[in-house]
Amino acid sequence: MPDTLQAIVREFVTRDGTDLSSVERRMESVLKQLESGRLELHFDSESESCNIVAARRHS
């Protein structure tokens, strides 16, 4: 896995700091959801920041 993607996912899963489960387990879950298309990685060029959001389903 590219280091940049790993860093983005790690920051995302530790963002709120209230989940007591394993960071690695949460990262694995997010990565699987990104691969399956359930989540998407979005980059905002104005703020130069990334966010992971639920995928928009197009019918």
- Quickly name the fold that domain 3-54 has: Arc Repressor Mutant, subunit A (1.10.10)
Segment 30-43, tens digit of pLDDT: 999 999 999 999 99
How far apart are the C-alpha atoms of 40 and 28, rounded to whole Å?
Answer: 15
How far apart are the C-alpha atoms of 57 and 44, rounded to whole Å?
Answer: 20
Strand 39-44 and strand 49-54: the pairing is antiparallel
Predicted pLDDT of residue 1: 61
Count CB atoms within 10 A of the CB of residue 50. Answer: 16
Stated length of the chain: 59
Across 3-8, average pLDDT: 94
Q: Where are the domains of the chain?
A: 3-54
